[in-house]
Amino acid sequence: MHTIAVINQKGGVGKTTTTVNLAVALARAGQRVGVIDLDPQSHASLHLGADVQRAAPTTYELLTSDVSLSEVWRDTEEGVRLAPANLDLAAAEVELAGVVGRELILRDKLQADAESFDFVLVDCPPSLGVLTINALSAVRDVMLPLQPHFLALHGLSKLMKTVGIVQSRLNNQLRLAGVVLCMYESSAKLSAEISADVAEYIAKLREQGGIGRTAQLFEQRIRRNIRLAEAPSFGQSIFRYDGRCNGAEDYRRLADEVLAVYGAGVDAGVSRELVAA
């Protein structure tokens, strides 16, 4: 089972859009996929058509009570299983403040879950609090959606420091799988410049080893597309909302790239490293 936390401390960069649409694309490619919503805004749950007012138990109960992950999973019409969230999850940060081992609750619940998945994607809140630390402690890989803006690299380096701390103290298996450029405009000179800067930064991470030893900049860019922004309001992935648009094609190709990275017998060196490491 491949476990991936999709994180960025900045909101509005395509984090939830990437989590949901990549998960659905993987499911449509024949993979068994679960999505864990750790964001109190519950955008991933809404995106997948869940009624967050009625969904119970949720990831709030998962983190604050004896509820198991197998009790939280819900089927969706998109072909993925969902561990939904609602606004109650915002209280978990406070309620867990005095709990010993609070950073490892999700890890223990995920390890105890008997259900078999090929991929589990965790949608994290746009912050670096207890919820995100739980995600980083529970997964093997980190995926970073990044908008090609000037300040993106600054935020990326800060985020990598946090990931490094979690790797050294709580999860020595943690590593950066890669960066996905979202809201990409191929006609904009800035997009190409930032893309080159990110590629250079990741190359340095790979040279340094550690959490960045297998990192890559995914070749598939997620182009800016209004249909991607519209789909969540209908509780649908981009594939159900408009499977012919550029957004659907981009996430379909990203899923193919992810499957190549994690598949056995792939030629690319980084792919062999991710599988074997």
Q: Is the pLDDT of residue 270 over 80?
A: no
Mean pLDDT, to the nearest integer, of 199-215?
85
Assign 207 a pLDDT band (cuts: 50, 70, 90): confident
Q: What is the pLDDT of residue 226?
A: 94
Q: What is the pLDDT of residue 236?
A: 96
Q: What is the pLDDT of residue 85?
A: 95
Q: Is the pLDDT of residue 241 over 50?
A: yes
Q: What is the pLDDT of residue 114?
A: 59
pLDDT digits (tens, 9 = 90+) for 47-93: 999 988 876 899 999 999 999 999 999 999 999 999 999 999 999 98
Helices (H), ranges, the chain: 15-28, 43-47, 59-64, 69-72, 92-95, 105-112, 130-138, 152-169, 189-208, 226-230, 238-242, 246-262, 269-276
Q: Is the pLDDT of residue 271 over 70?
A: no
pLDDT digits (tens, 9 = 90+) for 40-49: 999 999 999 9
CA pair distance 166, 5, nearest whole angstrom: 13
Mean pLDDT, to the nearest integer, of 207-230?
90
- Residue 47 amino acid letter: H
Assign 275 a pLDDT band (cuts: 50, 70, 90): very low
Weakest mean pLDDT among 41-45, 104-108, 205-209 = 205-209
Owner of token pair 């701390």: 165
Q: Is the pLDDT of residue 277 over 70?
A: no
Domains of the chain, start order: 2-276 (3.40.50.300)
Share of the chain above pLDDT 90, in %: 63
Mean pLDDT, to the nearest integer, of 208-212?
82
pLDDT digits (tens, 9 = 90+) for 140-153: 999 999 988 777 77
Q: Is the pLDDT of residue 18 over 90?
A: yes
Q: 251-261: b or e for each residue (b if 16 or more CB lie within 10 Å)?
A: bbbbbebbbeb
Q: Is the overall model pTM greater than 0.85, yes or no?
A: yes
Share of the chain above pLDDT 70, in %: 93
CA pair distance 228, 231, nearest whole angstrom: 6
Mean pLDDT, to the nearest integer, of 226-236?
95
Owner of token pair 């223990």: 108
